[in-house]
Chains A and B, each alone.
Chain A
Amino acid sequence: MAELSDKAREEFFSEAQEIIETLSRNLLSLDSSIKAGATDPSLINEAFRAVHTLKGLAGLFGAVRLGALSHRLEDVLDDLRLGRIELAQDVLDVLFGAVDAYTRILQAEKADSDEELDVEQLFVDLERIGAGATEHQSPVADYELDSGLLAVLTEYEEHRLRANIELQMQLYRLRVQFDLSTIDKVLEEMKERAKRHGEIITYLPTGEATSADTIELDLLMASRDDLATLIGSLGADNVVIEEIPRRARRSANPGTLPPRHQTAIGRPDSLGMRGDPERGGIDQAASLRSLTQTVRVDIRKLDHLMNIVGELAIVRSAFGRVAEKLRGEGQRKLAAELQRLHRNFDRRLGEMQDGILEVRMVPLGQVFDRLARVVRQISRDVGKEIRLVITGAETEIDKLIVEELSDPLMHMIRNAIDHGIEIGQRRVEVGKPLAGTIALNAFQKGNHVMIEVEDDGRGIDLTGLTEKAISLGKLSRSEAQELSRDEVLALIFLPGLSTRDVADDVSGRGVGMDIVKTNISKLGGVIDVHSEAGIGTKMTITLPITLAIVSALLIQAGKHTLAIPLSSVSEAIAFDEGAVRLVDGREVITLRGQTLPLCRLDRLMGLEAAPDVASRRRFVVVAALGQRRLGLVVDFLYGQEDIVIKPLGKSLGRVRGFAGATELGDQRVGLVLDAAGLIEEVLAGIDVPRTLERASG
């Protein structure tokens, strides 16, 4: 794929990714519909369409492996949608296997890697399923169908036609005139109404429009209802409904419907792109619209726009200062005018910022869909029955965060299934339902998004965890006795800690929980864990809604101006040096009856003290994330400002304690504190001085 432009490549990958996600969603719906005892033919057809499109794209972009898999999968899906193969659980398993294979192939293609991907077994399975296909006799010839109509039927439509005839449905032709400008809307309404009576199989433009603005369509419809009922429900000035009579029985006339080919490659994969029988008209309207009104945008372009907004914000501040200056020089009229402009500019800039942010937002459902697949897979692998309950899939969060959430959440869910949920027999013994429940809840709380992963398993073994930590030398036995319950639970986030001695293939609790935590911190979030023995475990992730722009509190520490994201600031109070106590060698103050650990920013960061520090009033900024709080002692509070955080360069990128840099109004650059990181570092009490030394150096 080397000769393609980057843009075309990206477009291809993003479309392929979307298609695979659609396919996965369809399979999941099919899975639940099989369990409910009724499959929806339109879901199979959609899955077929997805794979079909993917095959076309793969060919176009020379993605050979993607094409080969699509080709085989398409054959099987074609047999499924045309009723030649029964959709059973084992077939669905193979199809899910194909989704996983797609994901791996796509990653390899993206990386331009020629790595061998083990898909042989999948191909064998697909072949085996395909071999079970059976032929159907066509009853279509029994009807006096216009050959012009039959000629434009895709194979899927033919199949739907046959299926309806087999169900003893009566066929109708609806001749409908539409105004071209309103056809989408009117047709959707009509489909919606028709759904109550049966299925519309095809739409053929007759070419006999009365004017240039209208179009006439012949709709072929199958219905259980009689003509009078249909006319009563669907009839209108622009609709003529006729019954299609059954032919006098005679030997079938095969002329209109040529027999199907059965060669492996040259299969007539005609595309039932429509006639989705049970599918709601509204859905179809939505898909039609999305085809024409959606654009894909690289998130980096949005970042670029956001940076420009950030720079405009600096211009805005300059306006403000000029206005102040003018007023100071007695130019009141000019100052007032500039002030008005400034306010207007401010408002519009705010709107623009909101607009860009909104574009970056995507529903968490995107990642939840993938997780649903993982749950299904793992629960089969380990032989535990799992019920996944998702709430809040519509909660929106920054696209970049969603991308980075997938792995940590997957790991947490694996842990929950593997170590949290007991085996079925054990569950029954302790009076729990056989199937374990994993709840994935998302909701917005202020300018944070909370994601909970909750299981009703055995809970975390606190004693085992403590013993393990001691045996690994993470803490001494006496230290262990001092730990609060929450602190013990937090031990699972230490590297290398596992409640199991032998980590298995699927996960191994602890292997990765430290990485999960690191990844969440990188997104400016924190993770909290609650667990009750025998009842279950709940992990709560708190994330900022967006990474692009933050409201920050500008402060001075030593000679430096620093920004602290406001999302992690709970309050600021005056600092009283006399109220500082020492607990375990750590400085604390008491705030409303609670102990608040302190962190002197200037000292800890090795910043030079401001010359007049002794004479000045100082402040404590209380940073809070989740349930943890830390008081940051600062020299001065400048106030609140919206900032665009820019990444630190490579040399500073790994330093903990800073989230990035930002431009301050007077064209200076200020560092942005990573409050989450600081809290973790300082409160964990692990290597604090050393880490911060590193940070300042």
Chain B
Amino acid sequence: MPRILVVEDSASMRSFVRNALESEPRGSALVDVVEASSGFEALRLLPRGPYDLVITDINMPDINGLELVSFIRKSDTHKGTPVLIISTQSSERDRTRGLALGANGYLIKPFSQRALLDEAWRLLATDVAHAKPHG
């Protein structure tokens, strides 16, 4: 069962992501979604991993999504975990920044349930160590 850490400070957005992920199990796999409402909470939840995918917002207090990505890539335990950024930051600057820091995908809010599922399952199926950034 893939474990997915969703880091997002908006409760509605968190439930949207959770509902999307739980709505369509692929194969026999159900997903186990863990929610964090801030960067700090994510830091606390990461050691309880490993996670098969981290989905994070950029727009969060204190520790932002870019910092979280950077941390994950530097961590021995989590550096192989695929990261999907979900953010309204639609500029080239942040997209390249996120991907340069080692994120594996980038979805611009708002996105459809379908787009999220496709991207999440693409990343879950990917061997991140050798994956090319996409999108």
Interface residues, chain A, with chain B CB atoms under 8 Å away: 8, 11-12, 15, 49, 52-53, 55-62, 67, 148, 151-155, 180-181, 183-184, 187, 202-208, 212-213, 215, 258, 260-261, 265-271, 273-274, 284, 287-288, 291-292, 296
A/B interface sample: 11 pairs, CB < 8 A: A56-B13, A56-B88, A152-B97, A203-B63, A205-B74, A206-B71, A270-B93, A271-B89, A273-B59, A274-B62, A296-B11
B41 to chain A, nearest CB (A): 6
Taking a contact as CB atoms under 8 Å apart, the answer to whether A204 and B70 are in contact is yes
For residue B40, which residues in chain A have a CB less than 8 angstroms away from its CB? 183-184, 187, 288
A184 to B43, CA, bound (A): 11
B97 to chain A, nearest CB (A): 6
For residue B70, which residues in chain A have a CB less than 8 angstroms away from its CB? 148, 151-152, 204-205, 207
Taking a contact as CB atoms under 8 Å apart, the answer to whether B62 and A53 are in contact is no
Encoded as 1 (CB less than 8 Å from any A CB) or 0, chain B from 55 to 95 comes to 00011111110111011011100000000000111111110
Taking a contact as CB atoms under 8 Å apart, the answer to whether A207 and B74 are in contact is yes
Taking a contact as CB atoms under 8 Å apart, the answer to whether A273 and B43 are in contact is no
A269 to B63, CA, bound (A): 17
For residue A53, which residues in chain B have a CB less than 8 angstroms away from its CB? 9-10, 59
Q: A49-B59, A53-B59 are in contact. Are A270 and B12 (CB under 8 A)?
A: no
Q: A53-B59, A207-B70, A266-B90 are in contact. Are A291 and B109 (CB under 8 A)?
A: no
A529 to chain B, nearest CB (A): 43
A265 to B92, CA, bound (A): 12
Taking a contact as CB atoms under 8 Å apart, the answer to whether B12 and A60 are in contact is yes
Taking a contact as CB atoms under 8 Å apart, the answer to whether A284 and B12 are in contact is no
Instruction: Check if B38 is an interface residue, CB within 8 A of chain A.
Output: yes
A53 to B101, CA, bound (A): 24
For residue A287, which residues in chain B have a CB less than 8 angstroms away from its CB? 61
A261 to B91, CA, bound (A): 8
Instruction: Check if B121 is an interface residue, CB within 8 A of chain A.
Output: no
Q: A55-B88, A203-B67, A205-B70 are in contact. Are A270 and B94 (CB under 8 A)?
A: yes
Chain B residue with minimal CB distance to A263? B91
* Residue of B41, B59, B73 most packed against chain A (CB within 10 A): B59
Interface residues, chain B, with chain A CB atoms under 8 Å away: 9-13, 15-16, 19, 37-38, 40-41, 43-44, 47, 58-64, 66-68, 70-71, 73-75, 87-94, 97, 100-101, 109-110
Taking a contact as CB atoms under 8 Å apart, the answer to whether B43 and A154 are in contact is no
Chain B residue with minimal CB distance to A202? B67
Q: A12-B12, A60-B16, A288-B38 are in contact. Are A52 and B92 (CB under 8 A)?
A: no
B47 to chain A, nearest CB (A): 5
B103 to chain A, nearest CB (A): 12
Q: A59-B88, A151-B66, A266-B91 are in contact. Are A273 and B61 (CB under 8 A)?
A: yes
Q: A151-B97, A284-B61 are in contact. Are A180 and B89 (CB under 8 A)?
A: no
A15 to B10, CA, bound (A): 9
Known: A56-B110, A205-B71, A268-B92. 6 other contacts (CB 8 A): A60-B13, A151-B101, A180-B44, A266-B90, A271-B60, A296-B11
A181 to chain B, nearest CB (A): 8
A615 to B59, CA, bound (A): 78
For residue B66, which residues in chain A have a CB less than 8 angstroms away from its CB? 151-154
Q: A57-B10, A151-B100, A215-B43 are in contact. Are A274 and B61 (CB under 8 A)?
A: yes
A27 to chain B, nearest CB (A): 20
Chain B residue with minimal CB distance to A63? B110
For residue B100, which residues in chain A have a CB less than 8 angstroms away from its CB? 151
For residue A270, which residues in chain B have a CB less than 8 angstroms away from its CB? 58, 89, 91, 93-94
* Residue of B37, B62, B100 most packed against chain A (CB within 10 A): B62
A52 to B109, CA, bound (A): 11
A268 to B88, CA, bound (A): 10
Q: Which 9 A-B pairs have the closest CB atoms?
A: A207-B74, A59-B110, A268-B91, A271-B59, A205-B71, A268-B93, A291-B37, A152-B66, A56-B109
For residue B15, which residues in chain A have a CB less than 8 angstroms away from its CB? 8, 11
A205 to B67, CA, bound (A): 7
Q: A57-B12, A154-B58, A271-B59 are in contact. Are A291 and B91 (CB under 8 A)?
A: no
